Amino acid sequence: MRKASVIHTPVSWIYLLSVLLGIVACWAALHHFYFVFAIPVILAIVIYSLYRTEKFILLVGAIAPLSVNINDIGAGLGIALPTEPLIMMVFIFLLFYFIYRGKIEKSLLQHPLTICVFVYLTWLWISSGFSTMGMVSFKYSLARTWFIVVFFIAAILIFRRMKNIHFFLKAISFCTLVLVIFTLTKHGTEGFVRSSSYSVSWPFFPDHGMYAAAIAFCVPILAFYTFNGRVFRFHYIWLPIVGFFLLVLLFGIVVSYTRATWLSLVAALGVFLLLRFKIKFSWIIAFLAVVSVYAVINQDKILYNLEANKQGSSDELEGHVKSVSNISTDPSNMERINRWKCAMRMVQKRPVFGYGPGTFVFNYGVFQQSNEMTIISTNSGDLGDAHSEYFSALAEMGIPGFALWITMVLITMGTAFKIIYKTNSRQVKITAMMVLLGLVTYYFHALLNNYSQYDKIAVPLWTFMAVIVALDIFYLKKESAIVAVK
């Protein structure tokens, strides 16, 4: 994708066609043929996608926060409009493009993260072949494939230009801001109470946790734009305005009452401090390994201490924060533990291939034990999934799928740390920090929820990973080559 467009039609022809489409629309309105309005809209989308291919792909991703979910369009299928039909269209186009071109740049294919993503995608389809529910896994795997092809593979090529990276970051932040303002306006009429936070983001988001997780991706972007805007040639007048937008996003997260997202922002702040002190990523991995071993050895003691906390969910911010570690009386936390234990029992029965991508919600019910079920437990799986990307991968794709997910997370973070520490470009360094901290918010959030099958989370997840690879291939390695020549 070296060129920004597939065709190079003279602008005058575009204007002429626009006028003709306008005439057709007016004729349709006069004769009450309202369905004809779809024709100029579809043609406009097709023309723009061909004439400004790169921008079109990025805009399709950027509007994901504003897509509307339709749960059932028939045959048990749901869809997010308008993004998913557009993503499918782009996916088909890209398949033909890559087949016609016949090759993808070697540097992209040889990058460790790209290799890991390809292996992950391969295992996704292999585990689908051994799924307990073949059609469910096929649809799930197909959707994840088009997200990866469009917003990871193609995006890496698009992001060889720094301006495209920041076009996307600004666009998705703007769309997220529009979403938050809309939601806060609705929520404000009800006094920002917790009880209404669960559904106030409808029809854009079915779940307040997903809504807050999507916002969190954009918090580091606006934070760095606010304090480092001059690096990206922001006029000084814009800096306080962007700072105000940042406060709007933070307020939106606070009144979403999503404890996992609050903690994820703390985790992102912690990683930022590690970067400021230039702590080696290998040291961080070693520390996490020690903590994990300690937690496993002392799990009974830890659980006993956690069970002493009886603070339930509350409209009061302090009480709601304290309820995070309550696993004895808080139904939400107890249900998470219930689902995780089900996932562990599922992987014990099918350790290699799992039960199949997308099937946890249909299979976990029989693995529940009566003494672990809560007042919100259900056998029909209509109240959430595995409540963890990690446990979801374990139950649905077996131990290899779980290992591949963890490996992707670690390679992404390790690559970003390397870029930030080695680059001599302040613009590259800050861009890497933006997307890394955005990813950290979800990597941490994913311990407690799993939303990566939805376009609103999948788009920033894979696109931010693509930015990391692009910065490594097209910027850091180029710097290293220049230094080597000197």
Distances (CA, A) of 264 to 32, 220, 485: 52, 12, 42
DSSP assignment of 386-424 equals -S-HHHHHHHHHHHHHHHHHHHHHHHHHHHHHHHHHH--
pTM of the model: 0.89
Place of tokens 């992404």: 412
Place of tokens 């990813």: 439
> With bands split at pLDDT 50, 70 and 90, how would you rate the model's confidence at 486?
very low
Q: What angle do CA 353, 121, 72 make, to 5 degrees?
A: 85
Q: Give the Cα separation of 486 and 468 in Å (integer).
A: 26
List the one residue out of 148, 127, 128 whose CA is nearest residue 137. 128
- Listed by start position, the domains of the chain span 11-110
Distances (CA, A) of 133 to 352, 366, 476: 16, 15, 44
Please answer whether residues 255 and 187 qualify as being in contact, where contact means their C-beta atoms are separated by less than 8 angstroms. yes
List the one residue out of 470, 396, 477, 388 whose CA is nearest residue 156. 470
pLDDT at 291: 87
Given a cut of 90, is residue 154 above it in pLDDT? yes
pLDDT at 103: 74
Q: What angle do CA 132, 137, 143 make, to 5 degrees?
A: 175
Share above pLDDT 90 across residues of the chain, in percent, rounded to a whole number: 55
Q: How far is CA 465 from the centre of its chain?
A: 10
Share above pLDDT 70 across residues of the chain, in percent, rounded to a whole number: 79
Q: Give the Cα separation of 149 and 157 in Å (integer).
A: 11
Place of tokens 């919600």: 361
Which 3 state secondary structure label does DSSP give 202?
Answer: coil
**Which residues, in sequence order, are CB contacts of 178 under 8 Å at separation 6+?**
65, 66
In this structure, the number of other CB atoms found within 10 A of the CB of residue 249 comes to 23
Please answer whether residues 275 and 433 qualify as being in contact, where contact means their C-beta atoms are separated by less than 8 angstroms. yes
> With bands split at pLDDT 50, 70 and 90, how would you rate the model's confidence at 296?
confident
Q: Based on the number of CB atoms within 10 Å of its own CB, is 425 exposed (0-12), middle (13-18) or buried (19 or more)? A: middle
Which residues lie across from 70 on neighbouring strands? 79
Q: How far is CA 315 from the centre of its chain?
A: 28
Place of tokens 């779940």: 207
- Give me the phi and psi of 72, to 5 degrees please: -140, 110
Which residues lie across from 193 on neighbouring strands? none
Residues in the chain: 486
Whole-number mean pLDDT of the chain? Answer: 85
Which of 157-171, 232-246, 404-418, 434-448 bottoms out in mean pLDDT, i.e. has the lowest? 232-246
